[in-house]
Structure 1
Amino acid sequence: MNKNFFEYVAVFTLCCTLLLSGCAVQNLQTKQSDPNAEALPVIETIPWAAHQTASYVIYNSKGNEYGTAEIDITVDLTAQTCDIQKTKSYEDETVIKSGVTIAMDTLMPLSSYYNKAAPYEKFEVSTKYSDRWEVETNGAKSSNQTVSLPAAYYDNESLMVILGAVFYENGKTYKLNDTIPLTASISMLKIKYEGTETISVPYGEAECFKVSFGETTLWFSTETRILYQYQDGGSGGIVFKLAGYTAG
């Protein structure tokens, strides 16, 4: 009787595993790219300096400071590429470093990485973009994956920068294929332009383009195209506010 019971448990566990695996595949399929999404319209002259750094204070939903962030942009005119490096540091000693190399004419990525070091986990994700997307993860669960790419796509870690270089039209909504290295998946975002708005941050006051998708809203200076504020209601209501900016 005990033998039959354990055999039943083993079969039941196997069925549950297969069922859950099927659900995971199905959920991934719902996040597919849109083959009809076109490349983002890039402004004729992007006012990015050869090298510039923007620093931010991170606030939680209660308005309390709990971290800092820095976005470093380096333009290579010879290669016609731009390197975007981001660092986020939180009070719990979590540090996330990411970077994307994009092509200046399309803003599409050539390669990227995402490294996280926290008291409870540590892993590194590196990617290469060509005809197919190669994603390699090193950590507790290391893996190598290859994903087919649509005609137009943009790395998730570059959105805080590249959306500031788009030519916006009133009432226009843009479809964007967003590659997410953490899950080796691609999802379609609808980027909505909501006009201009004057906002105040620790760095100062500026008129900004207001852009949103889902629960995320970004404000880019109409003059420098630098991100002044970022708000994500889907991540606990966090807000990034520009605190410093240097260019040279």
Structure 2
Amino acid sequence: MSPARVRRTRWLAGSVVGVAVLCAGAAAVATARDDGPAPAAASAPRTPSTGSADAGFAREMAVHHQQAVEMSFVVRDRTKDEDVRRLAYDIANTQANQRGMLLGWLDLWELPKTTPAGQEPMAWMSGHPGGHAGGHGGHGGGEAGFEAHDGALMPGMATRTELKALGAAEGVKAEVLFLQLMTDHHKGGVTMAEGCAELCAVPAEKRLAQGMVEAQRSELDLMADMLAARGAAPRP
């Protein structure tokens, strides 16, 4: 087994444990009561409905995050640049753990983990200005009218063609393509997280969404600097 495969196996094993712990923690947070006495009616936990923003965000952001994890693994094998590999590791670790929390909530609520058939991407965001936001050329920014295509199910997600190109690239070319694809991905993710921060009802999920907004905006700034250092820029 190659050193790279050994490192990946060890990382995945650690991630599985971490996700399991976080899922348990998420369930505890979601069912915990506020400090101090409260009326009996107010203390009963509320379960979101299948069509709620809480459930929609959990389902779709879990899918969105999974692709970010996959792209991060790909680029770690395509470059030796430590800065890019470190960023990829951080994104994969963070988003795998968050994905575990989101799926854990869906389990807790006894709701399906897949979006209902026939439902448009981000339908749960219909009450938010960024609802159904696509991007410039489908890359995830703020234009309306996004349509799933070539495996890109939500704003910012890379297409199958783009993922194939990333897997075939090496060195600086792989670094630039990864940073551009992940920039688009983060822009779409920020739009979704902003929607949950406004529309979701479960306090713990709203806090997680707001944390995603802040962290991914910071990474967008970092990736813009990393692209500039390589004589490139985010895609228009």
Question: Does TM, scored on the shorter chain, surpass 0.5?
Answer: no
Larger gyration radius, structure 1 or structure 2: 1
Which of the two has greater helix per residue? 2
Which one has a larger percent strand, Structure 1 or Structure 2?
1
TM-score scaled by length of structure 1: 0.27
